[in-house]
């Protein structure tokens, strides 16, 4: 496939490439063969000739975009829960610990029924793909068979994913927790074997297993110890968990692990804090924890929708970025009410404005203008929010060499965005004479899934408004 039209892709945390006329070739293997930017119509033949092609030779694979359409890298959702989609939009009267007890655990228990898992997970993954999420870090439930179903569905429908069976052997619900640490560890190893068996080349696999201790409260010391040993034996196995989401949760964690000075120190103590660890929330992380997480190379998933919905707090993401912590965005369904990464970007922007309002104090130098030297105290630029949802997420997943931007050699995980009137999104108003950057800002602010026309993972069409 050869695409000719506008491309928008992150260059850095602060800079985005806005190219009105680009030419991009996708190989039959689903990688980006080459990209040429700034190719207006009168230079098309010349650009093709550089790669030994002509207008005629590529005619059958040529896709031309209109003004108001463009290609972006697919969204990387670094944290969400497949068995909670059924609860999206429910239970927001609770804060975290009661929400788990009264809303979440009762729904997750249903996934003991494999037939229920088959019915629900297909809808969940189909929906996530249609929203433009091309890579996702999924939590299943504690059930081995039900979570195998989730991995199978991801592999079949074609979403790049890390998928984990939850480990939880205490402090959950009498009917929803594992009988022992040994049972949990045994099922975890079975799950890893199953997921790795889905691909003949595990290192190139679309769907990969991820260790998933739910959070420190739900795991006994022996379980965390055992997971640390599995992690040590499998250095490339990623790890995901929650951290410092809610004040009551942090206090209880410290009570359960009195030998650890901080929440982050608990995971570090058990060997679970390393380069491929993904920590969700982190709303109340202390400076010493940010420094520890940075020194281990772990990443943080910022989940603004969920943090607002469960009143967990407004994370100081600008400070994390200034501190050099790896950071991406997560939808965290159903703490967050939507699986849309577009909405999550919008809430990440709002969150940064809230934090700016409360942290700038009477510092008159902090205005609406952005700083070139710091993120803290300022609202995040649109370019930074876009980076978090794409390249930032790729870095958190240690996939920055494969996805997250549209560059030669990377996999073609991408979204065809359209803001044309035919998409029926009445919130987006624009003029065709506007710059691409201006149209992009309107999409970032008022876009939704109606503007996601087509979604590709490794060059394969897997979702979008026009996907049948």
In the complex, the residues that contact Zn ion under the rule CB under 5 A are 332
CB of 119 to Zn ion, least distance (A): 22
CB of 179 to Zn ion, least distance (A): 24
Q: Considering Cα of 76, then 130, then 346, then 459, what sign does the dihedral take?
A: positive
Q: Which is nearer to Zn ion, 39 or 216 (CB)?
A: 216
CB of 197 to Zn ion, least distance (A): 27
Q: Which is nearer to Zn ion, 303 or 403 (CB)?
A: 303
Q: Which is nearer to Zn ion, 146 or 164 (CB)?
A: 164
CB of 150 to Zn ion, least distance (A): 15
3-state helix, strand, coil in the chain (%, to 5): 40, 20, 40
Alpha helices by DSSP H, 246-373: 247-256, 263-269, 287-296, 304-309, 317-323, 341-359
CB of 354 to Zn ion, least distance (A): 21
The three-class DSSP label of residue 100 is helix
Which of 347, 344, 376 lies closest to 360 in space, CA to CA?
376
CB of 302 to Zn ion, least distance (A): 12
CB of 336 to Zn ion, least distance (A): 9
CB of 280 to Zn ion, least distance (A): 5
Alpha helices by DSSP H, 2-52: 44-49
Which of 303, 237, 243 lies closest to 267 in space, CA to CA?
243
For residues 89-128, one letter each, b for 16 or more C-beta atoms within 10 angstroms of the residue's C-beta and e for the rest, the string is eebeebbbbebbeebbbebbbbbeeeeebeebbbebbebb
The three-class DSSP label of residue 443 is helix
Element (H, E) at 207: strand 207-209
Element (H, E) at 439: helix 436-446
- Alpha-carbon span 178 to 175, nearest angstrom: 9
Alpha helices by DSSP H, 81-214: 96-99, 105-108, 114-130, 144-157, 181-196
CB of 242 to Zn ion, least distance (A): 6
Give whole-number Cα distances, 261 to 116, 219, 286, 289, 367, in Å.
42, 18, 11, 10, 37
Ranked by CB distance to Zn ion, the top (closest) residue is 332
Q: Which is nearer to Zn ion, 65 or 166 (CB)?
A: 166
Q: Which is nearer to Zn ion, 332 or 449 (CB)?
A: 332
Q: Which is nearer to Zn ion, 107 or 332 (CB)?
A: 332
Q: Which is nearer to Zn ion, 21 or 99 (CB)?
A: 99
CB of 344 to Zn ion, least distance (A): 13
Q: Which is nearer to Zn ion, 22 or 305 (CB)?
A: 305
Contact, 456 vs 450, CB < 8 A?
no
Q: Which is nearer to Zn ion, 240 or 418 (CB)?
A: 240
CB of 99 to Zn ion, least distance (A): 11
- Alpha-carbon span 127 to 148, nearest angstrom: 19
Q: Which is nearer to Zn ion, 36 or 332 (CB)?
A: 332
- Alpha-carbon span 218 to 241, nearest angstrom: 11
Q: Which is nearer to Zn ion, 166 or 376 (CB)?
A: 166
**396 CB-near residues (< 8 Å, 6+ apart):** 76, 78, 278, 299, 300, 301, 326, 327, 328
Q: Which is nearer to Zn ion, 212 or 346 (CB)?
A: 212
- Alpha-carbon span 341 to 424, nearest angstrom: 19
CB of 4 to Zn ion, least distance (A): 40
Element (H, E) at 415: strand 414-418
- Alpha-carbon span 337 to 92, nearest angstrom: 9
Contact, 169 vs 111, CB < 8 A?
no
């Amino acid at each position: 496939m050869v695409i000719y039209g506008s491309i928008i892709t992150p260059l850095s945390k602060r800079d985005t490439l806005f190219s009105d006329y680009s030419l991009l070739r996708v190989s039959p293997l689903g990688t980006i063969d080459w990209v040429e930017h700034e190719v207006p119509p009168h230079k098309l033949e010349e650009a093709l000739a550089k790669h030994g092609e002509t207008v005629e030779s590529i005619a059958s694979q040529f896709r031309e975009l209109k003004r108001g359409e463009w290609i972006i890298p697919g969204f990387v959702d670094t944290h969400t829960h497949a068995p909670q989609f059924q609860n999206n939009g429910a239970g927001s009267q609770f804060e975290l610990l009661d929400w788990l007890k009264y809303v979440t655990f009762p729904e997750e228990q249903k996934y003991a029924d494999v037939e229920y898992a088959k019915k629900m997970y297909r809808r969940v993954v189909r929906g996530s793909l249609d929203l433009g999420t091309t890579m996702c870090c999924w939590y299943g439930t504690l059930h081995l068979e039900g979570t195998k179903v989730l991995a199978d569905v991801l592999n079949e429908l074609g979403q790049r994913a890390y998928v984990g069976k939850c480990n939880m052997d205490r402090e959950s619900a009498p009917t929803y927790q594992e009988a022992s640490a040994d049972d949990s560890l045994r099922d975890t190893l079975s799950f890893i074997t199953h997921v790795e068996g889905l691909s003949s080349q595990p290192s190139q696999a679309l769907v990969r297993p991820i260790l998933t201790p739910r959070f420190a409260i739900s795991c006994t010391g022996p379980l965390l110890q055992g997971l640390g040993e599995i992690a040590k034996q499998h250095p490339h196995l990623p790890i995901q968990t929650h951290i410092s989401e809610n004040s009551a949760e942090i206090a209880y964690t410290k009570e359960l692990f009195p030998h650890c000075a901080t929440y982050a120190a608990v995971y570090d103590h058990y060997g679970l804090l390393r380069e491929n660890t993904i920590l969700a929330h982190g709303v109340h992380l202390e400076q010493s924890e940010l420094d520890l997480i940075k020194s281990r190379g772990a990443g943080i998933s910022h989940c603004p929708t969920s943090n607002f919905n469960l009143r967990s707090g407004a994370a100081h993401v600008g400070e994390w970025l200034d501190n050099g912590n790896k950071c991406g965005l997560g939808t965290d369904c159903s703490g967050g009410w939507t699986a849309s990464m577009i909405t999550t970007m919008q809430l990440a922007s709002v969150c940064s404005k809230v934090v700016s309002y409360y942290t700038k104090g009477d510092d008159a130098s902090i205005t609406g203008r952005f700083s070139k030297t710091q993120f803290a105290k300022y609202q995040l630029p649109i370019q930074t929010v876009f980076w978090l949802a794409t390249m930032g997420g790729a870095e958190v997943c240690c996939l920055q060499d494969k996805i997250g931007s549209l560059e030669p050699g990377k996999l073609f995980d991408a979204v065809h965005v359209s803001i044309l009137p035919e998409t029926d999104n009445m919130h987006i108003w624009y003029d065709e004479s506007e710059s691409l950057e201006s149209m992009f800002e309107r999409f970032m602010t008022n876009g939704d899934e109606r503007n996601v026309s087509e979604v590709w993972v490794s060059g394969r069409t897997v979702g979008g408004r026009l996907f049948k």
